[in-house]
């Protein structure tokens, strides 16, 4: 156990010294494994993991979902989603911020990336909110918070990585993210309402639209609904009837989603040959980075398991007669603290190999724990001092200070804490849909 704690501390130090998380976990994992066995065994273990990762067909789900999200971005569907959301919500006080959050939720359902959702919606929603005199704090906060939905509402790359790390059903994880994602949207709308009640000038009402315009705006979101239906419906067995008899695996669903997003982008005339090559190159770069992090995480996980940290933690819990729910709240506190200094993927990959065996040994559902981890990760995306979505917006909107965005986002991470407590106390919110599979 001592060796595991030293290794965990070494990774934290190396990451704080700006070493890439993949290299930090890989180096510490190899050194630690060699101390427990031998250098030859450690190098052999690392080499085997690299080869197995490169040859694992199941991992092809990662680049396919990334490809799908990039094609969706090129297809310009974010504007259609915002237009439809604005038609129904824009005439309320704070309505444009509400429309932004709803559009972010819809875009998340076909994108899977929090950073991409925040960056894309900032270009679509920010000009409109400034046009109607919205405070920069509310405008940027609604985009930053809405962007966090990208890692929860399926298809989510973070959920895919959690599923691969823990060998948990990706299909069940996707279904488990639906209700918490919708709950997140509703609570974010409450946060917007609270903000404009305190300061009505922060979010003036937009122009009202008649029912003709409302219905016309829905015509632009058919592609979003179609893609979501193909991916999630295929996983859920919607097409499992004669003569189709189709039920998708996660990899097949990702492939269908990527192909559908490509066809939609081409049909809308927004995808040139140059754009296609750029999307493919960006997919390759992103996938290579994620695979490097995954390999590093698995190497570190092998060391931690060999050194006996998960077993030791389970023994301590049994020895101290601590309630399983108390253990969960202690783990959540660790995540919230780490979220203040680590970006989301690093935090997930560093901690899941340690906490997952402990949580499952206490009898908790791995699907439920995956959703809890992702919701905590969402909170870390908008909390100071390292809220990655905040810094993405700061880079896109150079004239808005980081302090302004953090000030505006406070009500949103408060309601995120409320959602987290609800999911912990009522597991059925996450497990209802997966249990129907």
Residue 230, pLDDT score: 80
- pLDDT higher than 90, residue 419: yes
The residue-averaged pLDDT of 373-396 equals 77
**CB within 8 A of 193, min separation 6: which ones?**
94
User: Which structural domain, as residue segments, surrounds residue 54?
Assistant: 2-436
In tens, the pLDDT along 22-80 reads 888 889 889 988 988 888 888 998 898 888 888 877 778 888 888 887 887 777 777 77
CA–CA separation, 389 and 119 (whole Å): 8
How sure is the predictor about 317, in pLDDT bands with cuts at 50, 70 and 90? low
More confident call, 4 vs 139:
139
pTM of the shown model: 0.81
Long-range contacts of 220-223 (CB under 8 A, 24+ apart): 220/79, 220/80, 220/81, 220/83, 220/84, 221/77, 221/80, 221/81, 221/84, 221/106, 223/75, 223/77, 223/80, 223/264, 223/268
Structurally, how many domains does the chain consist of? 1
């Amino acid at each position: 156990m001592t060796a595991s704690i030293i290794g965990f501390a070494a990774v934290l130090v190396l990451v704080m010294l700006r070493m890439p998380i993949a290299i930090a976990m890989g180096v510490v994992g190899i050194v630690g494994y060699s101390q427990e066995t031998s250098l030859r065994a450690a190098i052999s273990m690392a080499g085997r993991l690299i080869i197995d990762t490169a040859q694992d067909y199941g991992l092809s789900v990662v680049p396919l979902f990334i490809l799908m999200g990039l094609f969706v971005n090129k297809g310009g569907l974010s504007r259609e989603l915002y237009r439809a959301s604005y038609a129904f919500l824009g005439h309320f006080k704070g309505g444009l911020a509400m429309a932004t959050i709803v559009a972010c939720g819809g875009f998340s359902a076909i994108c899977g990336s929090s950073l991409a959702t925040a960056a894309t919606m900032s270009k679509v929603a920010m000009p409109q909110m400034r046009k109607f005199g919205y405070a920069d704090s509310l405008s940027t906060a609604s985009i930053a918070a809405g962007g966090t939905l990208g890692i929860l509402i399926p298809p989510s790359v973070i959920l895919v990585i959690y599923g691969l790390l823990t060998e948990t059903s990706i299909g069940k994880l996707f279904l488990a993210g639906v209700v918490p994602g919708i709950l997140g949207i509703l609570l974010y709308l409450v946060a917007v309402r609270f903000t404009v009640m305190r300061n009505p000038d922060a979010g003036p009402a937009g122009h009202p639209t008649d029912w003709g315009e409302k219905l016309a705006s829905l015509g632009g979101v058919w592609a979003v609904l179609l893609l979501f239906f193909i991916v999630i419906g295929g996983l859920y067995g919607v097409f499992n009837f004669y003569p189709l008899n189709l039920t998708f695996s996660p990899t097949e669903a990702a492939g269908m989603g990527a192909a559908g997003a490509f066809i939609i982008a081409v049909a809308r005339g927004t995808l040139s040959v140059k754009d296609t090559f750029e999307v493919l190159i960006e997919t390759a770069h992103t996938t290579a980075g994620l695979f490097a992090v995954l390999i590093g995480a698995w190497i570190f996980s092998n060391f931690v398991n060999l050194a006996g940290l998960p077993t030791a933690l389970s023994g301590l819990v049994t020895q101290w007669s601590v309630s399983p729910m108390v253990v969960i709240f202690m783990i959540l506190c660790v995540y919230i603290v780490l979220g203040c200094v680590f970006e989301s993927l690093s935090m997930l990959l560093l901690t899941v190999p340690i906490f997952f065996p402990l949580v499952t040994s206490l009898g908790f559902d791995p699907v439920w724990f995956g959703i809890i981890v992702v919701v905590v990760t969402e909170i870390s995306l908008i909390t100071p001092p390292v809220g990655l979505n905040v810094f993405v917006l700061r880079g896109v909107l150079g004239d808005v200070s980081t302090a302004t965005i953090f000030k505006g986002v406070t009500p949103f991470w408060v309601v995120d804490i409320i959602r987290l407590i609800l999911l912990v106390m009522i597991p059925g919110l996450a497990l209802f849909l997966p249990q129907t599979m």
